[in-house]
Structure 1
Amino acid sequence: MKSAVETLNPTRVRLTVEVPFEELKDSLDAAYKKINQQVTVKGFRKGKIPARVIDQRFGRGAVLEEAINDALPKFYTQAVNEAELDVLGQPEVDIKDLKDGELLNFTAEVDIRPEIELPEDFSGIEVEVDAVEVTEEDVDKSVEQLRERFATTSPVERAAADGDVVTLDLEAKVDGEVLEDGIAKDVSYTIGSGELLDGIDEAVKGVEAGGEATFTSELKGGSAAGKAAEITVKVSQVAERELPELDDEFAQLASEFDTLEELKADSRKRLENMKQYDQATQAQERVLDKLLELIEVPIPEKLLEDEIQTRKHNLEHHQLGQMGLDLDKYLEIQGKTAEEFETETREAAVKGIKTQFVLDALVNKEKLNVNQEELTEHLMRRAASSGMSPDQFAQAVVQGNQVPMLVGEVARGKALAMVVESATVKDTNGEVVDLSDEDEEEAEGRTAEAAAEESASEESKEG
């Protein structure tokens, strides 16, 4: 077999492959054997029909077609390996010449992973992140949220007001007809929480137990989602919320601490940890953006279009479907036009593919490896974020042949952590931020999320 490679552009090549006919012998034998099992000819036992009879009865062309379908993937793979190409997705194959008994000549156009020129070092990258600052107001707000969780309610004989907890019966009508799924009984609702329908707060405020009100609101879910409905609400109870006193007794009730000051100090520490986490994530994202600005990465058009379609499909059929929304309603809620959505989706797909290419190039350049412990830790994190148990997630990964994808996510996380370590990160106060304790974990978490979004690119590469 002879093969040659023609570069069409930085991300696409054309392979020209010439195969002597004798190299098709195994595939021809397999074709005759397959046809033998599928047909019957009077006078011959099944599976024992001579090749010349098959040629006469069914045509040599049918045999050649079967043989070539069997042989092409083998010769294509051999040509790719000989040329040491890193191909992406499936090739477009065109048979140029087929001479029975002489030769087979075909071409295969396919996208390839582009060559990427990486900087010698990343010390020139500088980014600014938010400073970690926890104010007294932040601490007070945190303690107040805890206090809200320990609030008690007591029924009162007066009209409902902001902050009260009311018990309601709801009935929704569209075009004068009560919806099958439009009736709800004994619903507990805190006035002002915004957790139910638009307009309900204004409707129930001022209503006493035993009273009712009617208002119009757009339904957020159910069989008539998005439609305007007439809502009748009956108040069966009004209860006043009572907050515990902010003192040492509250601290002992709501935490493991003996004093309110100890509780506040712990709240401050937790808020600082959260802000440090956010700061580290922000550093990862901004360093990645700077890195991508430094490097020219040609994007295979076919891969990009596939990625865009995959992102749209996942949004429409998974995320929005679970919320009972379609794309038009989603765009209305987001305040976006279809053109803006298309532009944003394309930009996100380009960034996703570019991120994967650049970090993979870094992994190869630095020869970064992933050990079993790192893979297990990453699997545990991914399982937690997916809502599955580690065993369930691991089983799904193995069954879906997704272990290489997870290994890639961890390796890219390590590559990004290496860049962050070399970069200069300062906060808004001008202070250099030390991310030495968070680098690797934060980078891996950030990259795992990106890699999950880029699954279509990964699958195309594996294909």
Structure 2
Amino acid sequence: METKIKQATPVEYEFEIHATAEELKPKVNEALQAQRSQMDMKGFRKGKVPMDLVKQMHGKAIGYRLAEGYVQEAFQNEIEGNDEIEPVGQPMLTDLDYKLDGDLNATIRFGVRPEVELADLSDEELSMLDHEVSDEDVDKEVQRLLQQRADLIPLDDEAADEEDFVDIDLQRIDAETDTPIIGDKEEGMTFFLDDDRLRDELREAIAGKKAGDTFRVELPPGAPPEAGADAPTETRLYEVTVNDVKRRDMPELDDEFVKDITEGEFEDVDSFLEEIRDRLKEAWSDRSREMVQGDIVDRMLELHPIPVPESVIEMYLDSFENQVKQQNDGELPDDFDKQAFRQQNRDDAERQARWMFVRDAVIDYAELEVTDEDLQAFYEDQADEQAGLTVDQLEQFYSQMPQMQERANQQILSDKVYDYLIDAFDTQRKSLDEFEDELKEKHEQRQALAGGAPAGHGHAHGHDHDHDHSH
């Protein structure tokens, strides 16, 4: 057998195999004899069918199986067993030329890890939200909890204010003919007027109206008239009918309310307020962490435009398909367009693959590893989140589930990668106002580059960029 390894791209190689018919003869005879021993044909004793007939009936299938197995064995011995080469992803058989009793020629294309030279991050500025929970934040959260427990009292002949609950019908009007547009009416829409998602124009128009009032309002393009609807692209005229107005009857913040809402966990207002403050601190910390992780991935990919092997991109696309299957009882939907799906998700697959290589490079460079102490802390956190399970029970569970254990290890490593990179970047901690101003400025810049579309407002909401996979 002759083999040759050729570099096709910086991250892909071709493994060429040539074997003569004489070299393959022992394997061919073995495969034919195995097939013959199983054949039971009329006119012949079992296992005594003439070899020419065996070849005629099964030669093509035998030849393909033999060639495939021979090529796979050669790849395992010379590539996977080669300490100087580290293949990644699924190797692809790109060429196979073989007929039974003939020579074999085959080519396997496989990917290798790209070289990642980590950039110096010390002069790379990274913004991180550092919000200090204020008394006002605590008051807002208390107000939200009180509102959740409030009773709604109907207002018979009193105008709605900007915190009341309303039930309305919304009929779109043709401005040219001044007539209702048939089929464009929403009935029984209910919402609180202090809902942040509501259009200011609609809120201001309803405030001051009573149940039974009908009026018209123009809503400009942009956001929808109510949360969740499709956004109009032009100014629209609507006729609004107020069906009902209700006002919150707020409970008192006292010890009885605290006992009720916490189911006895807290018994007095002061300890409850302290708990709220602690939970808000944790929530803001988690939100800050989530956002900076997304920014870190973006920045690291910008700074490390490494090539990605096609085999690894295909590996991620396969995982995306498997997710679709899991969401559909193990089967792809009947109308699933595999080619369109893979094309649509190709950029994301390449992005996730590239982050995997960069992340692994950071782990190697910083010599990050999972310690027993890390695992113990992980089990303790899991036990806090899953009532009824002890740390020992969780440790035993993970030890019996290798895939779950590996996932836990990768999660711990990811946290360490982000910790390391937060320190490696020139991380600037920003107040909420500073951070949102910066988000708004970035949004406006993106809109300008995209063609001058109107800029929206930046908000400190997280976005998920963490795509770690066990490998």
Partners of 1:309 and 1:220 in 2: CA distance = 36
Alignment of 1:299 with 2:298, yes or no, is no
Query: Which residue in the other structure is 2:177 paired with?
Result: none
Query: Which residue in the other structure is 2:434 paired with?
Result: none
Picking from 265, 276, 285, the partner of 2:285 is 276
Partners of 2:225 and 2:44 in 1: CA distance = 75
Q: Give the direction of change, closer, same or farther, for the CA distance of 1:85–1:5 in structure 2 (3 Å limit).
A: farther
Which AA in structure 1 matches 2:12? R
Q: Give the direction of change, closer, same or farther, for the CA distance of 1:377–1:296 in structure 2 (3 Å limit).
A: same
Q: Give the direction of change, closer, same or farther, for the CA distance of 1:380–1:18 in structure 2 (3 Å limit).
A: farther
Moved more, 301-310 or 283-292: 301-310
Partners of 1:450 and 1:8 in 2: CA distance = 31
Deviation at 1:6, TM superposition (A): 0.8
Deviation at 1:10, TM superposition (A): 1.1
8 A contact 1:413–1:448 mirrored in 2: no
Kindly tell me the number of residue pairs found equivalent between the two proteins: 390
Which AA in structure 1 matches 2:467? A
Q: Give the direction of change, closer, same or farther, for the CA distance of 1:136–1:309 in structure 2 (3 Å limit).
A: same
8 A contact 1:124–1:423 mirrored in 2: yes
8 A contact 1:11–1:113 mirrored in 2: yes
Query: Which residue in the other structure is 1:88 paired with?
Result: 89
1:20-419 → structure 2 map (5 Å cutoff) = 21-22=22-23, 25-26=26-27, 29-30=30-31, 32-34=33-35, 37=38, 40-55=40-55, 57-58=56-57, 60-83=59-82, 84-96=85-97, 100=101, 103-118=103-118, 127-158=126-157, 161-162=160-161, 163-165=163-165, 190=192, 193=195, 206=209, 208=211, 235=243, 239-245=246-252, 256=266, 258-259=268-269, 263-301=272-310, 303-304=312-313, 307=316, 348-364=348-364, 366=367, 368-369=369-370, 374=375, 377=378, 404=406, 407-419=409-421
Of Structure 1 and Structure 2, the greater helix share is in: 1
Picking from 451, 457, 463, the partner of 2:467 is 451
8 A contact 1:33–1:47 mirrored in 2: no
Structure 1 spans left out of the alignment, 5+ residues: 320-341, 430-445
Partners of 1:447 and 1:188 in 2: CA distance = 29
Partners of 2:250 and 2:414 in 1: CA distance = 49
Deviation at 1:46, TM superposition (A): 4.2
Query: Which residue in the other structure is 1:428 paired with?
Result: 430
1:13-38: CA deviations, max 9, x gaps? 0101234554564465345534764x
Which AA in structure 2 matches 1:17? I
Deviation at 1:66, TM superposition (A): 3.7
Deviation at 1:238, TM superposition (A): 5.1
Deviation at 1:194, TM superposition (A): 8.1
Which AA in structure 2 matches 1:116? V
1:234-255: CA deviations, max 9, x gaps? 95x7543112356777667656
Deviation at 1:68, TM superposition (A): 1.8
1:107-134: CA deviations, max 9, x gaps? 2122222232346x86666533233333
8 A contact 1:31–1:66 mirrored in 2: no
Which AA in structure 2 matches 1:244? P
Query: What secondary structure does 1:451 align onto?
Result: coil
Partners of 1:214 and 1:48 in 2: CA distance = 93
Query: What secondary structure does 1:144 align onto?
Result: helix
Query: What secondary structure does 1:450 align onto?
Result: coil
8 A contact 1:208–1:238 mirrored in 2: yes
Partners of 1:32 and 1:221 in 2: CA distance = 69
Query: What secondary structure does 1:148 align onto?
Result: helix
1:163-202: CA deviations, max 9, x gaps? 444679999xxx97999xx999xx9754564899999987
8 A contact 2:17–2:107 mirrored in 1: yes
Query: What secondary structure does 2:75 align onto?
Result: helix
1:32-62: CA deviations, max 9, x gaps? 534764x65332244442434413x437555
8 A contact 1:126–1:287 mirrored in 2: no
Partners of 1:375 and 1:51 in 2: CA distance = 64
Percent of residue pairs bearing the same amino acid type = 21
Partners of 2:242 and 2:295 in 1: CA distance = 52
Query: Please, what TM-score do these two structures have when normalized by structure 2?
Result: 0.59
1:397-421: CA deviations, max 9, x gaps? 969x676566444434434434445
